[in-house]
Amino acid sequence: MARNSVMNSVLLQRDFLAVFIIIVSTFSWYFPLYLFFHSMLEKLEVESSFLLLAFGVQFVVAVGSAIVGTALARRFPSRDAFLSAWMFVGVIASVSMVALETFNMTYILLVSFVLGISLGLGFPSCLAYFGDYSVEENRGRLAGITFFGSYLGIFFMGLLLSFFSLIVGALILAAWRGIGLLLFLLTRSKQDYGKENVIEVSYKSVLLDRSFLLYLVPWIMFCLINFLEAPVLTVFLGEDFASFVPISEYGIGGFVALMGGWFADSVGRKRVVIFGFIMLGIAYAVLGLFPSIILSWYLYIILDGVAWGIFSLMFYMVIWSELAGNRIKDKYYLVGVLPFLISSYVQILFTPYAKLIDISAAFSLASLFLFLAVFPILLAPETLPEKKIELKRLRKYMEKAKKVKEKHEEKGDM
């Protein structure tokens, strides 16, 4: 009963349902949309140079609109109003893909432009919304629950879109974003926490924050290695097996994020992040040493799924909020998300050259750099105060002692 009451208080704390809805709906909308848009352009057989241009426009606009969005959000009457307007742009962006089959290059670039805005404009504020509506003691498990829901949503939407044509798929994505907007409007808080008791911060001060950099550098290394190795893995494993990898990892990552959130609240963020880097380093080391053994392929999938579950949990939602403290969190989240956005575009640039890379050397180097990425984290501070970790340990100890006492009393009565 006590555990259930604690769980309920965590889930309902400070109108968390609205936060859960907007983040889950955003992740489960954009990631399938990105893959759907990419697959549609491939079916249209556009030239590789135009593909690079289209996604280049999307990523540049996403980053630019995110910078504009962090400033624009403060000018709206409330952050909820800003986020609602941003989600509505997502509905329009999804519908705009319906006419892609006309194969007008100008129109495709226009769609890429709108898609960039639909992601970047409110994404930092959306993540900061989570940071402001959660507290340190429960932030890990809240993030774990949220990402578990997001992974399930991504899997469901990706599977659903695989059965439909461009027009139907685009309308499904628009409807999904619209449903998310409607649910958010119905559950959003009556109070706006975005403008109370917060300190303005510049991008310069964020980038000069030593603690921030000690977490950012390993995150950059992971993103670059992961996205640069993805085309190499496709060449090495074959397209059929490689297509199985992300599906499996979404399932693994969702459950790991759920469990990782609880561990992050119990033992601290730093230990959990280090564990993720070690797991991924082992995964690439095994592939480098035993590339021809199929068992090593499956071990890689498991360990990479574990790492993605941990890193998506920690580097999307938890770490940057706690490093920001009582400062405005939007800019911390924006800089924290940039490595992922930039690396995903670097992957597109690198893909044509993946066949030229020596497989064994690529995996061995990846393993080496991932193990090196642990060192900055060892120097980084723990973002969850040690007192709160010790308090939770004490509570667990007291609960165990109480159960032992109750058992002895029951035996005494018998």
CATH class of 203-405: mainly alpha
**b/e burial code for range 281-309 (CB count within 10 A of at least 16 → b):** bbbbbbbbeeeeeeebbebbbebbbbbbb
Domain ranges in the chain are 16-187, 203-405
Res 410: pLDDT: 59
Is the Cβ–Cβ distance between 64 and 190 less than 8 Å?
Answer: no
Nearest to 46 by CA among 105, 97, 98: 105
- Please say whether the structural domain 16-187 has been given the CATH code 3.40.720.10: no
- Reported pTM: 0.86
Q: Who contacts 22 (Cβ-Cβ below 8 Å, separation ≥6)?
A: 83, 87, 126, 129, 180, 184
Res 103: pLDDT: 66
Which backbone phi and psi does 188 adopt, to 5 degrees? -60, 155
Which backbone phi and psi does 327 adopt, to 5 degrees? -90, 165
Q: What is the dihedral of CA 104, 106, 112, 116, to 10 degrees?
A: -160
10 Å CB burial of residue 148 (0-12, 13-18, 19+) is buried
Res 30: pLDDT: 93
CA distances from 89 to 107, 160, 178, 253, 371 (A): 17, 22, 10, 29, 41
Which tens digit of pLDDT belongs to each residue from 230-277?
A: 888 888 888 777 777 877 888 888 899 999 999 998 888 999 999 999
Which backbone phi and psi does 225 adopt, to 5 degrees? -65, -45
Res 93: pLDDT: 94
Token output for 395: 């509570």
Q: Do domains 16-187 and 203-405 have the same CATH topology?
A: yes
Residues of the chain scoring pLDDT < 50? 1-10, 14, 194, 397
